[in-house]
Copies of this chain bind each other. A is one copy, B any other.
Amino acid sequence: MPELSGPILVVGTGLLGTSVGLAARRAGIEVYLSDVNREHIRTASGLGAGVEHHGEPVQLVVVAVPPDHLGEAIIEALRSTEGVVTDVGSIKSQPLGEVRAAAPELVSRYVGSHPMAGSERSGPLAASASLFEGRPWAVTARPDTSPEDRSLVMALVEMCGAVAIELGPEEHDEAVARTSHLPHLMASLVAGRLAGAPGDHLALSGQGVRDVTRIAAGDPALWQQIISANRAAVLSLLDEVAGRLSDLRGAVADPSRTALGELLAEGVAGTRAIPGKHGGPTRPTQSIFVAVPDHPGELARLFADAGEIGVNIEDVHIDHDPGRPVGQVELVVEQARAGHLADSLSDRDWAVRE
């Protein structure tokens, strides 16, 4: 297995590219940076992500440009360097197709990848060496990829602290259409029904609708590129959803309600299909609700108490409550530990309910 010894060239010093540079520098690897925007190179360089590239030879190129420019940037990297070329783009088939068409003799040196990490902010200033810590990172090697080239990209994933998931390029695009692009579009459709609704109707909004619509706040210009670049897989899922929506309409209209119950049960099964934390099987969890005054230090006191009690908190939700200076904090913990946590917090005078 070839060692990732560097140098690495990062093409595109936005959030993802700069974060890769920072992670590589943290690992002691030499990093060169390039970007159409010289200002971004200076910023990324100032943050310690590497130095400007002037044609030096490199072992690995990481292309981190927006979806619309992926194909051309990968081809340019294959032509101008002799290193293995990977990218961190959200879609994998379309850039591969472009490389195959424009530079079939170079395509074997290209191994696509896609870290499932991001931020509502963009640009090098939002970057961090720890952006990828613990995140899934798809690696889309192909039958014609050499074991050495594949291993080099796997080593990049490991260096960034991420978890490699190996999939074919088309398979990857189908997977993200289902787990990312469709959810984004449906969140957008639901959110779109809120724009323009009367304020006293929206006042009834609870945590549910906030959760369902949260990702719809993402940058339309970026998502427009991502979804267009994965058009075929997204359209096929939209057709599937349109069919189920029509079934759903019939089920809601049907006095018998059996079909509606089946559709709702399908949804329950779907939520259970999402893998649990740490990639393992989902551990049964339970929620504890605690009333917490909404001023600095109170959450700290709650978590300090939970920490002393020695129960690991799997997840936290804070309820957005209108008009009251008290928040409901939901602590999600392993089921077997929930009773102990609830009792112990009550003993410490927290208003708890399970």
* A residues 124-174 touching B (CB-CB < 8 Å): 125-131, 133-136, 138, 161, 163, 165-167, 171-172, 174
How many Å lie between the Cα of A275 and that of B273 in the bound state?
32
Given contacts A252-B235, A261-B221, A316 and B319 within 8 Å (CB-CB): no
Contact between B208 and A215, CB atoms less than 8 A apart: yes
Contact between B278 and A321, CB atoms less than 8 A apart: yes
Most buried by B among A200, A244, A312: A200
* A residues 217-239 touching B (CB-CB < 8 Å): 217-218, 220-221, 223-224, 227-228, 231, 234-235, 237-239
Given contacts A163-B324, A203-B136, A270-B195, A130 and B291 within 8 Å (CB-CB): yes
Contact between A130 and B351, CB atoms less than 8 A apart: yes
Return the contact of A183 from the options B209, B287, B328 (Cβ within 8 A).
B209
Is A188's beta carbon under 8 Å from chain B? yes
- Closest chain B CB from A186 CB (angstroms): 5
| Interface flags, A276-315, vs B, CB<8A=1, else 0 | 1111000000010101001111111111111110111111
Which residues on B sit within 8 Å (CB–CB) of A180? 204, 206, 208-209
Given contacts A303-B302, A327-B134, A270 and B205 within 8 Å (CB-CB): no
How many Å lie between the Cα of A130 and that of B324 in the bound state?
12
Return the contact of A204 from the options B136, B202, B224, B353 (Cβ within 8 A).
B136
Most buried by B among A231, A267, A317: A267
Is A190's beta carbon under 8 Å from chain B? yes
Contact between A354 and B212, CB atoms less than 8 A apart: no
Which of A37-45, A99-107, A113-121 makes up part of the contact surface? A113-121
How many Å lie between the Cα of A12 and that of B135 in the bound state?
46
* A residues 246-261 touching B (CB-CB < 8 Å): 246, 248-249, 252-253, 255, 257, 260-261
Majority secondary structure, A binding face: helix
Instruction: Using CB atoms, name the residue of chain B closest to A290.
Output: B130
- Closest chain B CB from A97 CB (angstroms): 16
Contact between B235 and A253, CB atoms less than 8 A apart: yes
Contact between B244 and A353, CB atoms less than 8 A apart: no
Which residues on B sit within 8 Å (CB–CB) of A224? 257, 260-261, 264
**What are 27 A-B interface contacts by the 8 Å CB criterion?**
A121-B287, A130-B328, A136-B322, A163-B321, A163-B322, A163-B324, A175-B200, A179-B204, A182-B193, A183-B213, A185-B248, A191-B270, A192-B244, A202-B275, A214-B271, A216-B271, A224-B260, A228-B252, A228-B255, A231-B253, A234-B252, A299-B306, A300-B306, A300-B307, A304-B304, A316-B316, A316-B317
12 new A-B contacts at CB < 8 Å, known A130-B353, A188-B270: A133-B324, A136-B205, A172-B204, A175-B197, A175-B201, A188-B267, A189-B245, A191-B267, A212-B212, A245-B245, A276-B320, A296-B311
